[in-house]
Amino acid sequence: MTVVVAPPYLTQEARHDWDLLQRQTLQAHPFDPGQADLLPDPARRWVLHTIAPGTAMLRAVVLSTHGTIKLGSWRRFRATQVLLPLEGFVWSASACLGLLPVRGFDRYRAGAGEMRWRLLDAFSLMSGTGADITRSAAGRLACEFVLAPAVALDPRVRWKALDERRAVASLPVGSQDHDVTMTIAPDGRLESVTMDRWGNPDKGACRQHLFGIECEDETVFDGFTLPARIRGGWWPGTARWPAGEFIRFTLDGALFR
């Protein structure tokens, strides 16, 4: 069983979450397409497209990505993320401000969120905990369930159709349910995901803002078909998207556990 070792710059609490969230799924039964029969049609198309018949329904995943992130200007980054939908995530990344390395992590588990980023591994660049960060991180966790599709069939996830191309998944994370709207192509491809997420991208007081991702192309890992390239940020589909978009990345690897 392959275990992905936590980056050395994580805190003790983040390393604990890193190891806990990538534990092997117990009783990962093979996927039977009939399991999707009761889902609303757009969600059913997506599940049948994204999970190959017979695939072990592994719920945890370790993702490797690279891309660009907006830190003042667009800067290249590499990241590894441990993700267990409904439970938590640790996203660890490295980038550069000029020639100076920036490393850190965002995380959420057990009802608490945290962010911690340091310059030269010595100077605090951005750190925080508390109710606002926790609430925003919980929304991110809800949105990212599409990267570990087996959770779509978890009985705790409630589904409803909006129209022929859109379905809403209501996911319990922490003390709240988060409604995540997925737009699905006729062939089952995931086109976009949107939700109302807590944050302050306009630098005002924290409140709900439209947040989402746009998906391009596809790639397959361990029987799961995932978006190959993703763009994410605030206010997708509006005139404010150019200002709100803050990350673009390519999925290099996905190790399901």
Burial class of residue 25 (count of CB atoms within 10 Å of its CB; 0-12, 13-18, 19+): middle
- Say whether 20 sits in a helix, a strand or coil: helix
Looking at domain 12-256, its CATH class is mainly beta
Other beta carbons within 10 angstroms of residue 241's beta carbon come to: 16
Give me the residue spans of the domains in the chain: 12-256
- Say whether 91 sits in a helix, a strand or coil: strand
Question: pLDDT by residue for the chain (257 residues), tens digit each?
Answer: 678 999 988 999 999 999 999 999 998 999 999 999 999 999 999 999 999 999 999 999 999 999 999 988 999 999 999 999 999 999 999 999 888 999 999 999 999 999 999 998 878 888 899 999 999 999 999 999 999 999 999 999 999 999 999 999 999 998 899 999 999 999 999 999 999 999 999 999 999 999 999 999 999 999 999 999 999 999 999 999 999 999 999 999 999 99
Pairwise CA distance, residues 41 & 208, whole Å: 28
Pairwise CA distance, residues 16 & 101, whole Å: 24
User: What are 237's two structure tokens?
Assistant: 């589909």
DSSP 8-state code for residue 71: E
